[in-house]
A and B are shown apart, each in its own frame.
Chain A
Amino acid sequence: MTASPHILVVDDHREIRELVSRVLTREGFRVSAAGDGQAMRRLLADGRIDLVLLDLMLPGEDGLSLCRFLRAETDLPIIMITAKGEEVDRVIGLEMGADDYLPKPFGSRELVARIRAVLRRAVPSRGAARPEGGSAGFRFGAWTLSVAARELLRADGVVVPLSTGEYDLLLALLERPNRVLSRDQLLDLTRGRSAAPFDRSIDTQVSRLRKKIEEDPSDPRIIKTVWGGGYILAAEVTET
């Protein structure tokens, strides 16, 4: 487990494979590369893989069906790469079971950050918590958070858009319901996804989030403050 994570890159474009492999190797990952679904299956059988970087457009069997296969056969985290970059494709990709979605063109820093974030999220829940990959969403109180669409829905179906910070915070809390999380823990859990330089304090994000989801923000029922400790998601959470 202490060995560096092993990434499988699946892309039909040779130069992309080479460049991505070089970047990841430099960043300390072990890398294998495959040009199509067949090669991917062979490599999966051969060695222990920790994460699959999967291009959506592949000759022969396409990325979506490979993604479905990976989801069904393994619990490997998957990051989907695509040049399409449309919101609809992103949602479909995530619904197919991908853990994240990286639109082309991307840079090495972005690539590495996503891989680290997905690995970090995957490790604690590996095994028991997520036998079938990430949850599609969470239901709590009158709300539903869809992970694939990154969307908060009210009971009446109204979409209530969240900022990136609010979404990351809410997701971190929902993944660990009824556990007291300190500000440092929350900062750590959310920073991986939004590495913005002017990140607001956790307190600011919590107060914004409360305005949106609490019936009475001054008397919160969902996200409660624990004196001296941090915050706790107090509502009953169902994974969907």
Chain B
Amino acid sequence: MIRLVPKSLFGQTVAVILLGLAVSQAVGAYIYNGDRDETVRSVGGLAAARRTANLVRLLEDSPPDSRARMAEMVSEPGYRVSVSARPPDLRPRGAQAEQAIRDYLAEDLSLSPSTEVVVALPGTRKGEHCPTHAGRHGRGRAGNGGDDGAGDDDDDEVSSGQATAVPGSGRGMGLRHGMRHGGHGPMARTPETTEALSISVHLSDGRWLAVSTGIPEADRPSWRFGLTLAVMALVVFAASAIAVRRVVRPLGLLASAADRFGRDTATAPLPETGPAEVRRAVSAFNRMGDSLRRLIDGRSRLLAAVSHDLRTPLTLLRLRAEDCADGENRDRMLATIADMEALVGAALEFARGTQSGEERRPTDLRALLESIVDDMADTGLPVSLDASVAGASGPMVAVVQMHALKRAFTNLIGNAVAYGGCARIATTATPGGIRVDVDDDGPGIAETDLERVFDPFVRLDESRNADTGGSGLGLPIARSIVEAHGGQVTLFNRPGGGLRARVDIPL
């Protein structure tokens, strides 16, 4: 299953907006179409009704004999009129439009409630409907041969009108429809857009006026609807792309600034631009950075000041202790002083962290490791650099704080020697940078302590080993330095025994 939900804020926002647009378009189209259907029918039907009302008034005002004749004269393709003695066989569908037309007629003609008006919108196309209608009339006449002359006229009229009604009414309605929706394409003029409307009114002389015409029918959702949707989608996409980008870009800047801040608190504050909400976030971030920086600076200054001020008294102590005649006491004092010196040095180093101001310069890391290993081996420590790997690859140059990194490696190797008896260093080139493994043959560290030892002043050997000394700052210092270079330090127990400190540094 491929993920369908986009991950980025940009993707999600655009997706939500597009989805909303599609739903609103669909719902809108549904409502609009239904609504328009009724409207168009009633409007088209009302026009026909008005015409019919006028006709009724005209017929009622004329002598009864001339009524059939007048009906014949008024009849035209698309609006067929006849007067007959028999009630029409119409079946109203019960649509709202039928009621609307009947109400209109009743009101317009001030008809008494007993006057019968039948309006039918059979809901079928005219072409299908008309023959049925004509057939009924024919059958009716055959069954009632004794009707007056008007019946004949009516029948003739009906049949002759019938012959031309199909194409005629279609065209007539089409034209009207076309005018209403001026400028629409050829599709709008197709015969499918009309619907049959039949009206019967019971005249005062007892005869029935029958009107048969067509009214415009709502056109089906067409490709135009699709095009509209597509254009709107495109516009919305572009607009939301611009809007979202304005939000997302400062967010991206914020994220990378936070990232940088994690490595180096001395980063410059972010420019406060973009929408108000984003500006607020940026300004909050800048304020947070300021107070963090002050906090860190304050802590570092305190630790540095204390460590620094301890160095002169320590020198005095040492010079005095060296003068001491009592051999055993002297050696013990000197050992204690050496521990204090190491602690003060480490604390100062830790306080300074990565803010030592050391320049980053391209440095041959392999030569750096060689120099550390050689220096330690030259003082008799069991430290070695994996010869095959060291000789196999060329120089590994990275832009680093050389002295800081030297401190980090020295701490790790020193730990391996102090707690694991020896240190074997191996370097490998990884796709993103270089990897340095420092292995020892010691007992390793309990899994639960592997992370804890990176916390400042945590020492696992407090109770059991006094001569390994250590300030509990070696690993935190190493980690903060390596992380300042965008790298990582991890500790793990090797399957075969012994601890491995792994340093990954990106090039």
Contact = CB atoms under 8 A, between A and B. Distances in A.
Contacts of A160: 363-364, 367, 395
**Most A-side CB within 10 Å, residue of B308, B312, B344:** B312
Interface string A35-78: 00000000000000000000000000000000000000000000
Interface string A3-19: 00000000001011001
A208 B391 CA distance: 12
Interface in A15-42: 15-16, 19-20, 22-23
A125 interface: no
B103 to A, nearest CB: 96
A16 B316 contact: yes
B378 A164 contact: yes
A85 interface: yes
A165 B378 contact: yes
Question: Interface SS of chain A: helix, strand, loop or mixed?
Answer: loop
Given A85-B311, A86-B356, A106-B315, A198 B363 contact: no
A161 B367 contact: yes
Contacts of A23: 319, 322
Nearest to B374: A163
Contact of A196 (B318, B367, B379): B379
Contacts of B375: 163-165
A161 B312 contact: no
Interface string B343-382: 0110010001000111001111001101110110111100
A9 to B, nearest CB: 12
Contacts of B356: 86-88
Interface in B275-317: 308-309, 311-312, 314-317
A43 B286 CA distance: 55
A161 B322 contact: no
Interface residues of A, number: 40
A124 interface: no
Interface residues of B, number: 43
Interface string B160-182: 00000000000000000000000
A107 B319 contact: yes
A201 to B, nearest CB: 11
A83 B356 CA distance: 15
A108 interface: yes
Contact of A20 (B319, B367, B374): B319
Nearest to A88: B357
A86 B407 CA distance: 12
Interface in A186-202: 194, 196-200
Contacts of A86: 352, 356
B319 A13 contact: no
A50 B312 CA distance: 25
A103 B308 CA distance: 11
A87 B348 CA distance: 12
Contacts of B322: 23, 107-109
Contacts of B452: none
A161 B308 contact: no
A84 B378 contact: no
Nearest to B352: A86
Contacts of A107: 318-319, 322, 334
B378 A15 contact: no
In this complex, the member of A20, A83, A208 whose beta carbon has the largest number of chain B beta carbons within 10 angstroms is A83
B12 to A, nearest CB: 46
Nearest to B404: A87
B320 interface: yes
Nearest to A158: B362
Given A198-B378, A198-B380, A199-B378, A158 B341 contact: no
Interface in A77-132: 83-88, 103-109
Contacts of B312: 13, 16, 83, 104-105
Interface of B: 308-309, 311-312, 314-320, 322-323, 334, 337, 341, 344-345, 348, 352, 356-358, 361-364, 367-368, 370-372, 374-375, 377-380, 395, 397, 402-403, 406
Among all A-B residue pairs, the 8 with the closest Cβ atoms: A163-B374, A105-B314, A198-B380, A83-B311, A19-B319, A105-B315, A104-B311, A161-B371
Given A160-B363, A162-B371, 9 more contacts: A19-B323, A83-B309, A88-B358, A158-B363, A159-B402, A161-B402, A162-B367, A194-B378, A198-B377
18 contacts: A16-B312, A16-B315, A16-B316, A19-B319, A83-B309, A86-B356, A104-B311, A105-B341, A106-B318, A107-B334, A157-B362, A158-B361, A158-B362, A158-B363, A163-B372, A165-B375, A196-B378, A208-B370
